[in-house]
Amino acid sequence: MERSFFSLGETERVLAEPLAALRHELHEHPERSGQERETTERLRARFNQAPFEILPLPLTTGLAVRIPGKGPGKRVAIRADMDALPVAEWEQNPIRSQNDGVMHACGHDMHMAFVYGAGLLLSRNRDRFCGEVLLVFQPAEEIGEGARQMLDAGLFERYPVDHILGGHVKPELSAGRISVRTGPVMAALDGFFIEILGQGGHGACPHTCRDPIVAAAATVLALQTVASRTSDPSLACALSVCRIQGGETDNVIPDRVILEGTMRTVDDDQRTACLDRFRTVVESTAAAMGCQARITFQRGMPPVVNDDRTARICRDRARALLGEDRITALPVDTISEDFSLFAQRAPGCYIGIGTARPGENVYPLHSDRFCPGDELLPLGATVFAEMALGLLNEDKEIGL
């Protein structure tokens, strides 16, 4: 197996302290999506000297930082998300939010520390690469707007990148293990809003009505066949009706029932086929019950799809750094993520970084108890730095 550029033992010594300090600062002062002003300032303060160069992008929150190598070459971006959630932190977490009701419950504090750490390592090893690295700190991931904002600010137009890296902490994976997949990693998101329109009346005389409640019930069940019969069984698909609203009292059949929910798919053809069938199933089921259906789709994020070659290089570097037994490929995640917008524009690789400590309770993302240990920070940072160097030096023999 090839040697790694970095040695984890060494990088842990250099990075443990500064990364824990940044992570604690960020965790204690979380900010919600679109409001990451202090977070942006805290990061700016760490990149305000050479060789870091903060890029002049018209952004209210978020920033991108350039690290030039020793000569011209490729450009590789590493992206972290920055926002926290409206969750009240559990009192017994080792680090506590000081902003009531707001918490880094999705680990974005760790992501920022990973990318900062990767930046520190790469800035101290500029003689080992040509080209440059962009550190991309993206706001508003949780509401699916931040990646779009950065692209609209001209990030990739002004600084086109050859590859982009990103990742997420993964409570379902053991601490210290890394997941790298080729192909789809996370799902596309489509929201739906359905109005089923009938004609209300007396609950004792249903034959004089067109009952939207029965039509809605049939629709919820019929929709399950979109995931089970239309979607290719080898591809991940989730379709959930998450809200039903209709009726006011026990003896009146209402005029109208609302259904709302979400659909997740991982492939463009599958997505189109499922949306088409969705429409047919809803309209025909409502019609069969004498009702009418009006559907509004809110098309959300495309799927996150890793580029094969980029992901293979990243996996090789992770293996060289950590050893074969710490590298795995988790199944496709049906959660969605706006990293997909970056990965549509540049060959990308989105990885998973395990956080589960053996023998300890595992809390899911967005739980008020989700607070992984600082010991993972140098590892995440080194993995990203190693992958970035692997991509920058892809065409060359590296003297070690």
Positions in the binding site for Ni ion (CB under 5 A): 106
Closest approach of Cβ 168 to Ni ion, in Å? 6
Q: Which two tokens stand for residue 332?
A: 């496709």
Closest approach of Cβ 88 to Ni ion, in Å? 18
Closest approach of Cβ 60 to Ni ion, in Å? 21
**Of 305, 289, 381, 318, nearest in space to 348 by CA:** 305
What's the Cα-to-Cα distance from 128 to each of 144, 314, 393, rounded to whole Å? 36, 17, 9
**Coil vs helix vs strand at 323:** coil
Closest approach of Cβ 108 to Ni ion, in Å? 6
Q: Which two tokens stand for residue 77?
A: 């971006």
Burial 341-379 (b: 16+ CB within 10 A, else e): bbbeebbbbbbbbbbbeeeeeebebeebebbbebebbbb
Residue position matching structure tokens 């137009």: 157
- Rounded Cα distance, 77 and 138, in Å: 12
Task: CB nearer to Ni ion: give 129 or 370.
Answer: 370
Closest approach of Cβ 335 to Ni ion, in Å? 8
Closest approach of Cβ 391 to Ni ion, in Å? 23
Task: CB nearer to Ni ion: give 71 or 373.
Answer: 373
Q: Which two tokens stand for residue 110?
A: 């760790």
**Of 60, 218, 258, nearest in space to 150 by CA:** 60
- Strand 163-174 vs strand 75-81: parallel, antiparallel, or unpaired? parallel
Backbone angles phi, psi at 87, to 5 degrees: -130, 135
Rg (C-alpha) for the chain, rounded Å, is 24
Closest approach of Cβ 396 to Ni ion, in Å? 35
CB 339 within 8 A of CB 78: no
- Rounded Cα distance, 126 and 87, in Å: 40
Closest approach of Cβ 145 to Ni ion, in Å? 14
Sign of dihedral through CA atoms 362, 367, 368, 371?
positive
Task: CB nearer to Ni ion: give 82 or 392.
Answer: 82
Closest approach of Cβ 49 to Ni ion, in Å? 30
Q: Which residue is nearest to Ni ion (CB)?
A: 106
